[in-house]
Amino acid sequence: MGEPRLLQGKNTLTTPRMEINARGLLLYLLYGPLAAKVAHAWRETGSPPLGSWCLHLLVLLALRSLTFQLWFSYGNMLFFTRRRRVVKDGVDFSQIDAEWDWDNMVILQTLIAAMVTNSPSFPGVAELRAWDPRGWALALLLHVTVAEPAFYWAHRALHRGPLFSQYHAKHHSSPVTQPLTAGFGTPLEALVLTAAMGAPLAGAFAAGAGSVSLVYGHVLLFDYLRCMGYSNVEVVSHKAFAAVPALRYLIYTPTYLSLHHREKDSNFCLFMPLFDALGGTINAKSWELQKEVDQGMNDRVPDFVFLAHVVDVVSSMHVPFAFRSNSSLPFATRLVLLPLWPVAFAFMLIQWFCSKTFTVSFYFLRGRLHQTWSVPRYGFQYFIPSAKKGINRQIELAILRADKMGVKVISLAALNKNEALNGGGTLFVSKHPNLRVRVVHGNTLTAAVILNEIPSNVKEVFLTGATSKLGRAIALYLCRKKIRVLMLTLSTERFLKIQREAPPESQQYLVQVTKYQAAQSCKTWIVGKWLSPREQRWAPPGTHFHQFVVPPIIGFRRDCTYGKLAAMRLPKDVEGLGSCEYTMERGVVHACHAGGVVHCLEGWGHHEVGAIDVDRIDVVWKAALKHGLTPA
């Protein structure tokens, strides 16, 4: 169970060739005999075989996986947890790929349990009580007196000499703990944890005090506490320890475990620091650091914010706090996620009526914190006339919040800068002339990326969406280069307005056309408006379609080539980046996002809103290359 298994990549920032993680899927075929046994019993009796351990183990497997997933989701909901993160760094693609098979431990433990419960000496479900308080008391006693000290000494042993390098270093290779890190390690580590989890249960059953509720309760509580410790979010208030000092020896905290994970020479306990105290291995910084983290030590104002919005219901499940194996790969509609569509739809309704802009993800670049915020609105809502005012209000509040916090640059994504909505951000700058935060639409770099894709020997281009913000800038730039631009538009007024902006000696290179037939001999199409198959057929064989239309056009012509949306790869020294931006490859962001990054790195003091300044296209392009951004 765990995260739905999708595709697996390699330990690189850039997107490698993705392939189906067949081995991971095949592991679940090991449950075939258990599922077959349950199905057979169900068919024979006509009802769920509640007396079958096989059924209970499969249910427990699902519940355990759900526990890990819910803790993972909570820990990565930055709008809830960013102020109490223990380690401020992000989880990068290398760690995600290394931990891809984190659920191997859960699979192994379930198979071991299947062997134990199917042995002749193990009592059947029908022979057990649903609840037996004696078993719970005995399991607690055995956990404290057997499981905790045994794990403590085994864990200390794993940190010595060759045992660490061969059997435990892999687990500690993850720089930032996550709930899924709790299941990441070697088979030996999994067996040690299985023994620590199973010893109290074995003792309770041996004493004749076992029960079905004890199995469920003990295993799920064990997983719950492990996930809590690895969550990298401080969930225990320092005030509780101040009020009851003895409590700090009875339950560990995420800060406590994080110190062990990073420094490796202290805090070896399972859940109870009492055994570190008895063994003299408590890290002296544990409680003071826990207090500082709980008070928001690692909370920081971002330097740059990319203000995005949700595209649609299906893509809303691509957020980093949903399924990591999904968000760490470019977005695609995956069948395994479709059953969750009703849940995603319900969240859309909730956001529509009672939500505000929230933090989605972050990364670091040269000491600067970059965050992505999302307006709680979906793509289709931007085309509802009655929703326009509310959307602008959400964007305005996000800008004012960023200004109050001290954010340096906020970049508007996609429809958040729509001309018909707010004039490409002009509305907010005009309404609030004293903004300290720089508002940027990033389209100057988008235009630069498109223009630098065009081969230098091209003498003529065909441009659709010619009078849009980007279309205008592209036409004016190309005509200065003495490239003939066939501008598809029915509006002579708009065409003439743009033509008059060009230098007198360049105006002749701008030509208005009203039909696609005019481009029958032009092999360079720049597409800013959706093209149907019928419209694409007018392009001659060998045509290349550059595009800035959202969504991208579908490539119907096999004798033509199709470019992707304008994008740039972030510099190699980006840190903590572990999610893909919509359909972009790993480490690649939309050009408007990159434009905001460049604005921040350069420290420019002007707003970039409204019409694109054609004179700045080359300036922004050279600045992007200077800072290590590269065309994607």
Count of CB atoms situated within 10 Å of the CB of 371: 22
**Which ranges in 454-576 belong to alpha helices (H)?**
469-480, 492-501, 533-536
- Both tokens assigned to 257: 């475990």
Average pLDDT, the chain: 92
Judged by average pLDDT, the poorest of 16-25, 431-440, 578-587 is 16-25
Mean pLDDT of all residues in 571-593: 95
* Euclidean distance between CA atoms 304 and 574, whole angstroms: 14
Q: Looking at residue 25, what is its pLDDT? A: 65
Q: What distances in angstroms separate CA 250 from CA 61, 263, 275, 444, one per listed residue?
A: 28, 22, 9, 58
Cβ neighbours for 33, distance < 8 A, ≥ 6 positions apart: none
- Both tokens assigned to 48: 């769920």
Mean pLDDT of all residues in 531-558: 91
Q: Using H for helix, E for strand and C for coil, what is the string for 267-279? A: CCCCCCCHHHHHH
Q: Where does the pLDDT of residue 18 fall: very low under 50, low under 70, confident under 90, or very high at 90 and above?
A: very low
Is the pLDDT reported for residue 201 higher than 70? yes
Question: What do you get for the CA distance between the two ends of the chain, in Å?
Answer: 35
Q: Looking at residue 49, what is its pLDDT? A: 85
Q: Where does the pLDDT of residue 334 fall: very low under 50, low under 70, confident under 90, or very high at 90 and above?
A: confident
CB-count burial class (<10 Å; 0-12, 13-18, 19+) for 44:
exposed
Angle among Cα 610, 613, 617 to the nearest 5 degrees reads 125
Q: Which pairs from 545-552 meet CB under 8 Å and 24+ separation?
A: 546/450, 546/453, 546/454, 548/446, 548/450, 548/465, 548/470, 549/464, 549/465, 550/414
Q: Looking at residue 336, what is its pLDDT? A: 82
For 98-153, write each residue's pLDDT tens digit: 999 999 999 999 999 999 998 888 988 888 888 999 999 999 999 999 999 999 99
Cβ neighbours for 287, distance < 8 A, ≥ 6 positions apart: 238, 241, 248
* Euclidean distance between CA atoms 398 and 307, whole angstroms: 8
Residue pair 227/206 in contact by the 8 Å Cβ criterion? no
- Is the peptide bond prior to 551 cis by the omega test (within 30 degrees of 0)? yes
* Euclidean distance between CA atoms 286 and 266, whole angstroms: 10
Residue pair 419/384 in contact by the 8 Å Cβ criterion? no
- Both tokens assigned to 269: 């306990």
pTM for the complete prediction?
0.91
Count of CB atoms situated within 10 Å of the CB of 235: 15
Length of the chain: 632
Is the pLDDT reported for residue 76 higher than 90? yes
Mean pLDDT of all residues in 82-86: 94
For 431-481, write each residue's pLDDT tens digit: 999 999 999 999 999 999 999 999 999 999 999 999 999 999 999 999 999
Is the pLDDT reported for residue 7 higher than 60? no
Q: Looking at residue 301, what is its pLDDT? A: 96
Cβ neighbours for 581, distance < 8 A, ≥ 6 positions apart: 372, 588, 589, 590, 593
* Euclidean distance between CA atoms 272 and 281, whole angstroms: 12
* Euclidean distance between CA atoms 18 and 220, whole angstroms: 34
Q: Where does the pLDDT of residue 24 fall: very low under 50, low under 70, confident under 90, or very high at 90 and above?
A: low
Give the residues across from 40 on adjacent strands. none
Is the pLDDT reported for residue 295 higher than 80? yes
Q: Locate tokens 């959706």: which residue?
A: 530
pLDDT top residue among 557 and 22: 557
Q: Where does the pLDDT of residue 5 fall: very low under 50, low under 70, confident under 90, or very high at 90 and above?
A: very low
Residue pair 95/171 in contact by the 8 Å Cβ criterion? no
Q: Looking at residue 23, what is its pLDDT? A: 54
Angle between helices 254-263 and 286-294 (to 10 degrees): 120
Mean pLDDT of all residues in 393-419: 96
Give the residues across from 369 on adjacent strands. 364
Q: Looking at residue 167, what is its pLDDT? A: 94
Residue pair 571/627 in contact by the 8 Å Cβ criterion? yes
Q: Indicate the DSSP class of residue 31.
A: G
For 589-619, write each residue's pLDDT tens digit: 999 999 999 999 999 999 999 999 999 999 9
Q: Looking at residue 153, what is its pLDDT? A: 97
Q: Where does the pLDDT of residue 256 fall: very low under 50, low under 70, confident under 90, or very high at 90 and above?
A: very high
Is the pLDDT reported for residue 193 higher than 60? yes
* For the chain, the helix, strand and coil percentages under 3-state DSSP, each to the nearest 5: 50, 10, 35
For 61-73, write each residue's pLDDT tens digit: 999 999 999 999 9
What percent of the chain is modeled with pLDDT above 70? 96
Is the pLDDT reported for residue 15 higher than 70? no
Residue pair 49/38 in contact by the 8 Å Cβ criterion? yes
Angle among Cα 617, 618, 623 to the nearest 5 degrees reads 105
Residue pair 178/99 in contact by the 8 Å Cβ criterion? yes
HSE (side-chain half, CA atoms, 13 Å) at 423: 9
Q: What are phi and psi of 39, to 5 degrees?
A: -65, -40
Collapsing DSSP to helix, strand or coil, 466 comes out as coil
Q: Where does the pLDDT of residue 570 fall: very low under 50, low under 70, confident under 90, or very high at 90 and above?
A: very high
Within the chain, how many helices (H) and strands (E) appear?
A: 27, 17
